Amino acid sequence: MWGLRAYIKPYWKFVLLGPLFMLGEVFFDLLQPRLAAHIVNFGVVVRDFGVIERTGLLMLLVTLLSLITGVGCNLFASRASQNFGADIREALYAKIQTFSFENVDAFKAGSLITRITNDVVQVQNLLQIALQGLVRAPSLLIGSVIMALLMDPRLGLILLGTLLVLASVIFVLIRFSSPLFASMQAKLDAVNTSIQENLAGIRVVKAFVRSDYEKERFGDINADYTRASVRAARLIALNSPIVSLIMNACLVAILLYGGNRVWLGAIRVGDLVAFANYVGQVLASLLMVSGLLMNVSQANVSARRIRDVLEARPSIADGAQDAEAPIPAKHVEFRDVAFSYAGPAGEVPVLRGISLEARRGETVAIIGATGSGKSTLVQLIPRLYDVTAGAVLLDGRDIRGLPLTELRRRVGMIFQDAYLFTGTIRDNLAFGKPDASQADIEAAAALAQAHDFIAALPDGYETKLGQKGVNLSGGQKQRLSIARALLAKPPILILDDSASALDLGTERRLRLALQALRQDAMTFLIAQRITSVKDAHRIIVLEEGEVAGCGTHEELLASCGVYQAICRSQFGKREEEKPYVGQQSV
């Protein structure tokens, strides 16, 4: 928790006032046994009703003041803790926005969700508890012990000995509970990850009739979490009975010994009653303290998990070189590029020795078998990943030295998996250009062959979309995704198999509509169909992460065996105009 103290500083007034009010409540609570002893000794024993009446009214006033200070503490503690939690959530969310794909892969989405929700709630609750219970319980404990010692030191020694035994027991419980809480949070990560994967892939699950398998898999994961939770809860459950047992034994000893002292006249009966009340307050305080310390142990685990995210360094650092220099984005060059993913998968490079160029007005198509590295290659341009070796240059400058925001503003990327957000169609199209006019939005939609189907909807561009655009077909979602990228008019346009869900007629009309636009941009086109790439200025053929051929459609038909094989798979022998004579590199 100490590592998150910076998020408490803005609310230092509430953090200070909360404990002060709680100390006031504790002070008034400590007066009650004394006043009760006064009633017994000087009112009940001597049968003076006036003393009982006056002291009773005073006790009522003290109770009212205790209520006022307690409510004040709760208000200030709530303000501090709720704002503290909100600030941490915002900080975590902002930090995650700076993460590269590699960072997200390392933490895993399910774990990040747990940290930004459950873990934040744990530390938020701890702060509220600290400003209330961690002030009240120790203060009441110490105050009760002092008051008890002042009343009768001999009885106080019995209480002090009991407290030493209890302190040892609580220390052992906390020491063993901390690893259990860490395990429990890790298991909760797995539960959230499983739920997220299942909901994201629910259509696949239904299509392959795998609901029973998914339920069984989730049942195993949930059982692991339950077992970890039960182990932690079992240890926590020992806390209250053990404390109660020891303190009740202490109370019995005090009553036996104290009763004997009353019989001998060494202590008045009212004082023994007050002493028993203080022992009761000590018991309540100890139960609260031990429970709070368990909460502290659990919250510390959550705090460490939060700090892991906040202190993580994005694997892709924002470039600061040439920050003021213009970036016309007229030339992109891959210079001997290699790339490997982090982790065990990184042992085998995904890309090796890639060298290619593209200039404004050119269309560079990339084709190859599944897993050949096509999508990975284009994701290096906006630095969604960083190269492992070599460099990607924009206008002759290494993109790692350019400001990320400026670099990505010049790249319009359309993914195969068209992701749409909950909201209207207009909101989704203007996602990259919020100030776009309606005319610009409709023009981009027309280019993407989406205007007609949007206009046919009852609410047109104000049609509400469900999560991920579930109320649209795959082709419609792809066209909206294309229109979203075109609206920003980026100088670098990347189409990553973004027309795979379109029929041939719609794709043909889209290609024709984009021809004029491509004159002012450089286009990287990933496609599976030969018909989609054959008119490109240059076609790059990838095979197992390496360039197997580069050239125009006709040149590759004459020189690249891999390209010829792709043509045969799609057209038979109609496209084989020339025999295979070897491979060509870039």
The domain segmentation of the chain, as residue ranges, is 2-310, 325-409+528-586
pLDDT in tens, the chain (586 residues): 667 878 888 888 888 888 888 888 878 877 777 777 777 777 776 677 777 788 888 888 888 988 888 888 888 888 888 899 899 999 999 988 888 878 887 787 778 888 888 889 888 888 887 787 667 777 777 877 887 777 778 877 887 888 888 778 777 777 777 777 778 777 877 887 787 777 767 766 766 677 788 888 888 888 888 888 888 777 777 777 877 787 778 778 877 877 777 777 777 777 777 777 777 777 777 777 766 766 777 787 788 888 888 988 887 877 765 556 678 888 999 999 999 887 655 567 889 999 999 998 888 999 988 888 888 899 899 888 889 999 999 988 899 888 888 888 888 888 877 788 888 999 989 988 888 899 999 998 988 888 888 999 888 999 988 777 777 888 888 888 888 888 888 889 888 877 766 777 777 777 777 776 767 788 898 888 788 888 888 999 998 889 888 988 888 888 888 888 888 887 775 544 444 333 333 3
DSSP 281: H
Give start and end residues of each alpha helix (H) in 201-268: 202-207, 211-264
Would you list the DSSP string of 490-540? -SEEEEESTTTTS-HHHHHHHHHHHHHHHTTSEEEEE-S-HHHHTTSSEEE
Which neighbouring-strand residues pair with 366?
526, 540
Q: Collect all residues with Cβ–Cβ distance below 8 Å to 27 and sequence separation of at least 6.
A: 143
CA dihedral 260, 264, 266, 270 (to 10 degrees): 60
Which residues contact residue 423 at a Cβ distance below 8 angstroms, ignoring those fewer than 6 apart?
464, 465
pLDDT of residue 577: 45
SS3 389: strand
Cα–Cα dist 543/549, whole Å: 9
* 181-212 as b/e: b if 16+ CB within 10 A: bbbbbbbbbbbbbbeebbeeeeeebeeeeeee
Yes or no: say if 167 and 160 are a contact pair by the CB < 8 Å rule: no
According to the model, what pLDDT value does residue 393 have? 92
Distances (CA, A) of 29 to 34, 54, 74, 143, 281: 10, 18, 16, 10, 9
The hierarchical CATH code for the domain 325-409+528-586 is 3.40.50.300
- Cβ atoms of residues 152 and 258 within 8 Å: yes
Per-residue confidence (pLDDT) for residue 334, from 0 to 100: 93
Measured between alpha carbons, how far is 514 from 411 in angstroms, rounded to an integer?
16
In angstroms, the CA 525 to CA 536 distance is: 8
pTM beyond 0.75, yes or no: no
pLDDT at residue 332 in the model: 92
Distance between CA atoms of 380 and 408, rounded to whole angstroms? Answer: 11
Predicted local confidence at residue 336, as pLDDT: 93
Which one, of 296, 256, 20, lies nearest residue 135 by Cα?
A: 20
| Residues sharing a CB contact under 8 Å with residue 502, sequence separation 6 or more, in sequence order | 449, 475, 478, 479, 510
Report the number of secondary-structure helices (H) and strands (E) in the chain. 19, 12
CA distances from 317 to 103, 325, 326 (A): 12, 19, 20
Q: Give me the pLDDT at residue 321, please.
A: 57
Residue 478's region, left for phi above 0, alpha for psi from -120 to 50, else beta, is: alpha
d(CA 198, CA 221): 13
| CATH architecture for the domain at 2-310 | Up-down Bundle (1.20)
Residue 573 confidence (pLDDT) = 59
Residues 557 and 575: their CA atoms lie apart, in Å, by 8
